[in-house]
Amino acid sequence: MQSEQAVIYVAGNPDLYPLEYYDGESGSYQGAIPAFLEGFARSYGYDVRYLEPGAEDRRADYAANQQVDLISGCLADERYDHTVGEPLLLFSGESEGEESAYLLYFISVAPQGLQDDLRAYAARTTQAQWTGEVLQAAQEAPPGRLSPGAIWGMAIAAAVLLAALAVAIAGWVRERRRQKLIVLTDQETGLGTDEALAMTFSRLARDQSRRFYDLICIHLDLDHVGYLWGQEQAAALVLYGAGLVRERCGPGDLPVRSAAGDLLILKRFVDKQQAQAWVQGLVEAIRAFPGVGETLTAREVSAGVCPLELEYRSLEQTLFHARQCALAAGREERDCRLCGTQQCRGCQERWKLLADFAQGLDQGEFQLNLQFFVDAHTFRIVGGEALSRWKHPRLGLLSPDRYIPQLEEDGRIRELDFYCLEKTCAFLEDLDRQGVRGFFLSCNFSRRTFSTPDFSQRCLEIVRRHTFTRKLLILEVTESQQIDQRQAEQMLQNILEIRDNGIRVIFDDFGMGFSSFHDLQDYPMDGLKLDKVLVDNMWTQRGRIILRALVETGHKMGMTILAEGVEEERQIQALQELRCDVLQGFRFSVPLPEEEARRRILEESCFRPEQAGGRE
């Protein structure tokens, strides 16, 4: 027995009600096991503390790092690093012929005296005492943890109380395991989920066999497949590829359908030649997808292989490099690319940029730049497009092409989009305070961002924090990503809500990418911005016909027509003849820093009502 009070740290199970669980209200662990440990601490003079209580189960990490003495709330099939001796059986029962045991593990750093004292205390704790502790925990806990039937079962006669309690807990654990299996399995393809990959990767991080594993990313360009052959075929390609992955993976492999749309495989290989041959065979098989009537190319299906022996610090980093190699293989028209080669140096810089992104937003490193729009006939400045520039502390001023593609691939472009909207609204409010009227400012959002359920709510929350004439704000829907039918319906709803609040919406890069005349029918828009490629190709007969058709159609539907990428005099003349309304390009303005753009606008007297006959 301890003569002096020693601090003992425990890693708890936050989700094993009523034996042990995390209570958000008190910020502590509650249940029968904490009560048992508290009684032990009082009897033997220890100070038992749960390490960093929280809703996340961090027992595996704490065991791997030997940060605690005890791992609590364990099921019989759970294993942890650095444990010593036999686990301590706390509570057991039988339900439907299945034995359920709940254990406590000692970590190698736990003092031998603690092990002896705790085992002695547990030996004197009867099952009846455990029953009382569990019943007390069930009565004191928030409602909803167990079904009313289970609670009623615990309250029956004392003779059968223990059996009923064991049945209730075992049933609850089976249900939790079933729910966990659902979370770890993609219901459509039968592959694992990102959560399953995270769990397996975490275990491998502490395993000596890690160096034999590779993380393979099979990138499917579903946007391009959907654009060429339709969304149904894009969805069918995923199922076809998932079926091939399942067939070719062995018992020790983990195939995953990523939420980002890629197929991932965590697989063990003897050597790198075997890995590349296996991946190449899989890629070729997926490209033979029968749904489109032709063999797919590297643009549609490519692979990246990231060996775990490279010891990237996290799953996020490993997955990033595997995906970057897959994308690079597609661009290079190759089957696959192996991470860690000389060709991957650029990936390291892109990873560092992504790692710096969140801090960059917080520190205000992203700056607002404006490129002006001019009236197509008078060349008077009428508005501008909000653009971002990243003043990176290490790399200097970065243009958008250095970071926008990475943010789009990683899904973080949404954060930058809303950041730029806040800066745009603040700029318009500042102009309004200074008496400037009539100057509009546009802000870009991808289709995928525009089609999220909370898009209009987030936009309007930002807009309502600022005072300016709402019609002077224009949201541009960019063409970088395709969306499915459900997203298209949500995007329509968002457009209607945005326009109902006086904000204008236009299509950016119209006529290229995924846009089509169907979009003009499906979405009520205020304008079209013609893609630079259309402007550049206006000298061909087909190019001129297409451009004229777009301008005429847009005007008949009451839309303003803008043209971007205007750089030559002959382009200006041709666009004037086509009756284009607004022009943008280096011929009139390069992107200007916020302060310089503000100065230019304030110098334009036509924006001041008192100097322009009261014009709005």
pLDDT digit string (tens) for 261-272?
A: 899 999 988 777
pLDDT for the residue 260: 82
Residue 158 has a pLDDT of: 39
Same domain as 484, residue 414? yes
Nearest to 154 by CA among 125, 175, 133: 133
Evaluate whether residue 248 is within a structural domain.
yes
Contact 215, 264 (CB under 8 A): yes
Q: What DSSP state is assigned to residue 192? A: B
Q: For residue 585, give the CATH number of its domain.
A: 3.20.20.450
Q: Among residues 422, 167, 255, 219, which one has the least CA distance to residue 332?
A: 219
Question: Has residue 357 been placed in a domain?
Answer: no
Structural domain span for residue 327: 194-340
Structural domain contains residue 347: no
Q: Are residues 314 and 399 located together in one domain of the fold?
A: no
**Confidence band (pLDDT; 50, 70, 90) for 178?**
low
**Gap between the Cα atoms of 150 and 152, Å rounded:** 5
pLDDT tens-digit profile of 28-77? 999 889 989 998 999 899 999 999 888 888 998 899 888 999 999 988 77
DSSP strands (E only) in 259-353: 263-268, 301-307, 336-338
Residue 330 is assigned to a structural domain of this protein:
yes
Q: Can you give the length of the chain in residues?
A: 616
Residue 4: in which H helix or E strand, if any?
A: none
Same domain for 145 and 64? yes
Q: Specify the CATH number for the domain of residue 312.
A: 3.30.70.270
Tally the domains of the chain.
Answer: 3
Tens of pLDDT, residues 73-89: 988 778 888 899 889 98
The model's pLDDT over 271-321, given as tens digits with 9 standing for 90+, comes to 778 888 999 999 999 999 998 889 999 999 999 999 888 767 788 889 988
The answer to whether residues 71 and 116 belong to one domain is yes
What pLDDT was estimated at residue 3? Answer: 47
Q: Is the peptide bond before 34 cis (omega within 30 degrees of 0)?
A: no
pLDDT tier at 616 (50, 70, 90 boundaries)?
very low
- Give how far Cα 555 sits from Cα of 486, 578, 585, Å: 29, 11, 22
Instruction: Evaluate whether residue 186 is within a structural domain.
Output: no
More confident residue, 552 or 101: 552
CB 489 within 8 A of CB 447: no
Q: Provide the pLDDT for residue 382.
A: 94
Residue 401 and residue 529 in one domain: yes
Model pTM score: 0.64
The percentage of residues in the chain with a pLDDT greater than 90, rounded to a whole number, is 43
- What is the pLDDT averaged over residues 413-427? 94
Q: Indicate if the pLDDT at residue 377 is higher than 50.
A: yes
Q: Which one-letter DSSP state was computed for residue 315?
A: H
Hey, CA dihedral for 579, 580, 586, 592, is it positive or negative?
A: positive
Q: What is the pLDDT of residue 426?
A: 96
Instruction: For residue 33, give the CATH number of its domain.
Output: 3.40.190.10
Q: How far apart are CA 354 and CA 470, in angstroms?
A: 33
Residue among 161, 173, 234, 148 nearest 19 (CA): 173
DSSP code string of 424-474:
HHHHHHHHHHTT--S-EEEEEEEHHHHTSTTHHHHHHHHHTTS-S-GGGEE
- Determine the residue type at 550: L
In a domain, 187, yes or no: no
156 and 279 fall within a common domain: no
* Gap between the Cα atoms of 422 and 462, Å rounded: 6
- What is the rounded average pLDDT for all residues in the chain? 84
